[in-house]
Amino acid sequence: MRYALQRIGQLLVVFVVVTFAVLVAMRLGAGGHRELARRMLGGNVTDQQVDEAVRRYHLDSNYLVQYLYWLKGFVTFDLGYSSANSMSVAKLLAPRFWTTALLGIYAIAVGLLLAVPAAVIQAHRRDSWIDRLGNVASFIGFGVPAIVLGIFLQLAFSLHWHLFPAIGDSIYPWQQFGAHVRNFLLPTLTLAIPQAAIYTRLLRADMVATLQRDFVVLASAKGMPTRRILWRHALRNSLLSIVTSVGTSLGGLLGGAVVVETLFDLDGIGSQMVISVLSRDLFTVQACVAFVVFIVVVVNLVVDLSYSLIDPRVRMARALA
């Protein structure tokens, strides 16, 4: 528990440092706080509106104070005003946040669902045709850029066979489940396949090593069925790299999300961030970055805590630490 709190503390520091750096970078070089306020509000604004913005966001104070007020806004979901969309950023981003978060979760889940059985079977049947096939598949899955894979899936499943919409709105599972699945399937696959490729390679290598360890041979000598040896004994002892990679590959995944959201016209944080940067929509960019960092922090926390779930020795060491 103390360990968990420590980690949460560390990750909060990461969150603060990154969002502060972004705030400074975006507000730097505006040439005075009235000019900055004008930029943040965008378009034609009256002097009165500028004055109000300066007061509200404390633009005449130093960056640290500005940041603290921004942070206060963030935790109360007061994220400022989107100049490009003439609406509050919170309202703009709420549905987009869910689109990206769901895409990320689906991509990791589907990636693991594809990778774990593939890696276990490949390791078990090492050097057989099925192992080779798996290696080729993960090589391709790893090497193909998300944009190419996405376009390919779009062409094949939407334009050719008309199975899924090529572009669709972000419909949420709590709205219409069937339509949600249909709209999210191809984008999810586009993100999940490269993830699956990474996971498969890592897990296969770990499984191959684990299967040679003494305790696995002992499980054989006890007469345990192959299925039990693979899934109960070997798999759990091979999870370290794959769990770590869920955290480390998240950056690539979020990069892919930008591509996928744009390609499949899903309104998400990724695509919104690009649009907002181009239109110099400062509040929105700031909030998008904050959300992305938030997702990264949460996933890394989950990854970190799952080491304890997997390995009692880690649990022990952390309890003593």
Contacting positions for other proteins (CB under 8 A): 127, 213-215, 217-225, 228, 232-233, 236-237, 310-313, 316
Nearest CB to other proteins, comparing residues 6 and 220: 220
- Assigned token pair, 299: 């996933």
The alpha-carbon radius of gyration of the chain (Å, integer) is 24
Nearest CB to other proteins, comparing residues 55 and 227: 227
Q: Shortest approach of other proteins to residue 109 CB, angstroms?
A: 23
Distance CA(284)–CA(86), nearest Å, equals: 11
50 DSSP β-pair partners: none
Nearest CB to other proteins, comparing residues 72 and 232: 232
The answer to whether residues 15 and 299 touch, using CB atoms and an 8 Å cutoff, is no
Looking up tokens 């591509």 gives: 259
> Quick check: helix, strand or coil at residue 311?
coil
Q: Shortest approach of other proteins to residue 5 CB, angstroms?
A: 25
The answer to whether residues 138 and 201 touch, using CB atoms and an 8 Å cutoff, is yes
Nearest CB to other proteins, comparing residues 47 and 214: 214
Nearest CB to other proteins, comparing residues 86 and 220: 220
Q: Shortest approach of other proteins to residue 249 CB, angstroms?
A: 24
Q: Shortest approach of other proteins to residue 232 CB, angstroms?
A: 8
The answer to whether residues 299 and 107 touch, using CB atoms and an 8 Å cutoff, is no
Nearest CB to other proteins, comparing residues 196 and 239: 239
* Residue 256 CB neighbour total at 10 angstroms: 26
> Quick check: helix, strand or coil at residue 176?
coil
Q: Shortest approach of other proteins to residue 209 CB, angstroms?
A: 13
Q: Shortest approach of other proteins to residue 221 CB, angstroms?
A: 4
Distance CA(198)–CA(138), nearest Å, equals: 7
- Assigned token pair, 99: 């689109």
